[in-house]
Each structure stands twice: as structure tokens, then as C-alpha cells.
């Protein structure tokens, strides 16, 4: 006879993260729509919902995330204001949410690359060998982060931009469409 397993509080919390994978996206504007489409394409989340102060599709306001911790286990921040984005990522993590990385299945990410929590990697993007992407970054469609490059926290590498090999970008930068950065 198999005995039932009794779980302690910590084990229950860990099990909860494996049993359900429901995602809250903070921000339902353009970045939120991109995050939603990437998350859907990943086929990892059984439910995806928005929190936003101004959207009719949202289930609550941005700061309502504490109300949903028992119902959702993962959350990302999809807003343009980088300071607020990083602050909300920290608050979500402190509240107990898992902060996933959203990577389009149509992007290439090298096995040796490291991508910080809460970052988005859009379709047709290349994140090359031993490159590092910081926390809360947006790597837009068609961008290339070449080998051994470091992209600081909160950066937005816009469509078609190239971060050259061994380049170290500071925090909070936003590239222009098609911009090429080859030196520090």
C-alpha cells in the first residue's frame, strides 16, 4: 500500500510552482501585448492575465498583484518606464512570484548565454555565445547581441539593433532602430 505524502508549508509552496503555471503581465499596452504573444508561443502558461490601471482587459490594477499571489505563480512587468519596470520586478519577487524570462520560440539564444529575470527576447533575435542580458531587458525583434557582450539591467535593444562582440552596455540604455554599438 502506498502511503499518502504529507507536505510541509515550504514543500507545498514549491509544489504549487510545479503544479500550476499562471502568468500575470503587469502592463496591457504595447509591451504587454508583445509579452502576451511570446508567453502564448512558449506554451508554458495555462493562464495569462493582465494587470493595468487603464485597460478594460485587465483583471485588476498594477498594484493589485498582492491579491493574486495564490492564484498566479509567475509575473512579468511589461511597461516602458525602466525605473518603474525594475522596481515592480523587485516588488513582485519580494511578494513571492516567479519572474520568468520570456523567450520567443523563434529567437536563437545560445546555451551559454545568461538572461536576467523579467527580460523579453522577441522573435528573430540572436543572443549569442556567452553574452549576458540583465534584469528586465527587452531585446526586440531582429536584434543581435553578439558573443561575450553584456547588456545592463533595464535596457531596450530595439528592432534590428546590434550589440557588438565584447561590448558592455550600461544600465537603462535604449538603442534606436538598427543602431550598431561596437565599442564601449
Tell me: the pLDDT tens digits for 99-116?
A: 999 999 999 999 999 999
What letter would DSSP give residue 29? S
CA dist 180 → 5, 114, 146, 149, 175 (Å): 56, 21, 11, 13, 8
Q: What domains sit in the chain, N to C, each tagged with a CATH number? A: 9-95 (3.40.50.20), 101-173 (2.160.10.10)
Residues 19-38, mean pLDDT to the nearest whole number = 93
Average model confidence (pLDDT) across the chain: 91
Asked if residue 14 has pLDDT above 60, the reply is no
* pLDDT number for residue 184: 62
* pLDDT number for residue 183: 79
Share of the chain above pLDDT 90, in %: 88
Residue 11: band (very low, low, confident or very high) from pLDDT cuts 50, 70, 90: very low
Q: In angstroms, rounded to a whole number, what is the distance separating the alpha carbons of residues 146 and 166? A: 8
Q: In angstroms, rounded to a whole number, what is the distance separating the alpha carbons of residues 126 and 108? A: 5
Residue carrying C-alpha cell 537603462: 172
Grid coordinates belonging to 147: 558573443
Residue 17: band (very low, low, confident or very high) from pLDDT cuts 50, 70, 90: very low
Residue in 25, 135, 20 with CA at minimum distance from that of residue 87: 135
Grid coordinates belonging to 95: 511578494
* pLDDT number for residue 30: 96
Tell me: the pLDDT tens digits for 116-142?
A: 999 999 999 999 999 999 999 999 999
What letter would DSSP give residue 128? -
Amino acid at each position: 500500500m502506498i502511503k499518502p505524502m504529507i507536505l510541509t508549508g515550504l514543500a507545498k509552496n514549491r509544489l504549487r510552482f510545479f503544479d500550476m503555471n499562471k502568468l500575470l503581465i503587469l502592463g496591457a499596452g504595447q509591451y504587454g501585448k508583445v509579452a502576451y504573444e511570446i508567453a502564448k508561443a512558449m506554451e508554458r502558461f495555462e493562464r495569462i492575465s493582465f494587470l493595468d490601471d487603464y485597460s478594460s482587459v485587465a483583471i485588476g490594477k498594477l498594484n493589485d498583484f498582492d491579491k493574486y499571489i495564490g492564484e498566479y505563480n509567475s509575473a512579468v512587468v511589461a511597461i516602458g518606464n525602466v525605473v518603474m519596470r525594475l522596481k515592480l520586478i523587485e516588488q513582485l519577487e519580494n511578494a513571492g512570484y516567479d519572474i520568468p524570462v520570456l523567450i520567443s520560440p523563434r529567437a536563437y539564444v545560445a546555451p551559454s548565454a545568461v538572461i536576467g529575470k523579467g527580460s523579453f527576447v522577441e522573435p528573430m533575435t540572436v543572443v549569442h555565445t556567452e553574452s549576458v542580458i540583465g534584469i528586465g531587458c527587452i531585446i526586440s525583434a531582429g536584434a543581435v547581441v553578439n558573443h561575450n557582450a553584456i547588456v545592463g539591467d533595464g535596457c531596450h535593444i530595439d528592432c534590428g539593433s546590434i550589440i557588438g562582440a565584447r561590448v558592455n552596455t550600461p544600465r537603462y540604455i535604449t538603442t534606436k532602430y538598427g543602431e550598431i554599438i561596437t565599442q564601449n
